[in-house]
C-alpha cells in the first residue's frame, strides 16, 4: 500500500531525487549514529537498572533493615476512605540512583571512547571544507 502511494505521488527521476535527498539527510544528520546511540543507551539503561534493582537496592535495604530499598515507605498516618496515604520514598530513591548510574555510564563511555572529540573533529572538517569552498569561488 505504501509503495503504491509513493509510486502514485512520486515517479521516475523525481523519486530518485527524493531518495537521494533522504539518504543525504541520513548521512549528514547522523541519523544512523543517533539510532545506534539510542539502542546502546537503552541497553545500558536496562543493564544499569538491573544492577541497581538486583544488587544495590538489596544491599541498601539490608543496611537500612529490611528487604529492598525500593520497598521502603513511610505511612503518613493520614487516610481517605480506608486507604492510608503512604509515601514510597524507597522507590523514588531507587529511581534517582538508577538515573545517576545511567548518566555516569553514558558519560564514561562517551569520554572513554573519545566520542565527543570525534564530533568536534567532524565539525572542524566541515568548517575547513566551507572555507576552502569560499576561497576557491573567489
Tens-binned pLDDT, residue by residue, of the chain (138 aa): 555 555 555 556 677 788 788 777 777 767 777 777 788 888 888 998 899 888 988 898 888 887 888 888 888 888 888 788 889 998 899 889 988 888 888 788 777 777 666 556 666 777 777 777 777 776
Range of the domain at 36: 2-137
Q: How many domains is the chain partitioned into structurally?
A: 1
On whether the pTM is more than 0.95, the answer is: no
CA 57 to the chain's CA centroid: 23
> Which CATH number fits the domain that encloses residue 125?
1.10.1200.120
3-state secondary structure of 65: coil
* pLDDT of amino acid 67: 80
Tell me the C-alpha to C-alpha distance, in Å, between residue 109 and each of 5, 44, 62, 97, 138.
43, 10, 31, 18, 44
If we measure between CA atoms, which residue out of 59, 29, 48, 56 comes closest to residue 107?
48
Amino acid at each position: 500500500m505504501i509503495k503504491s502511494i509513493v509510486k502514485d505521488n512520486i515517479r521516475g527521476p523525481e523519486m530518485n531525487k527524493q531518495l537521494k535527498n533522504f539518504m543525504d539527510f541520513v548521512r549528514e544528520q547522523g541519523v544512523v549514529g543517533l539510532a545506534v546511540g539510542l539502542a546502546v543507551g537503552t541497553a545500558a539503561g536496562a543493564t544499569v537498572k538491573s544492577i541497581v534493582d538486583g544488587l544495590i537496592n538489596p544491599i541498601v535495604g539490608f543496611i537500612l533493615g529490611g528487604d529492598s530499598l525500593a520497598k521502603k515507605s513511610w505511612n503518613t498516618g493520614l487516610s481517605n476512605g480506608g486507604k492510608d496515604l503512604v509515601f514510597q520514598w524507597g522507590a523514588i530513591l531507587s529511581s534517582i540512583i538508577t538515573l545517576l548510574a545511567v548518566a555516569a555510564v553514558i558519560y564514561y563511555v562517551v569520554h572513554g571512547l573519545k566520542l565527543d572529540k570525534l564530533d568536534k573533529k567532524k565539525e572542524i572538517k566541515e568548517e575547513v571544507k566551507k572555507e576552502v569552498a569560499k576561497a576557491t569561488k573567489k
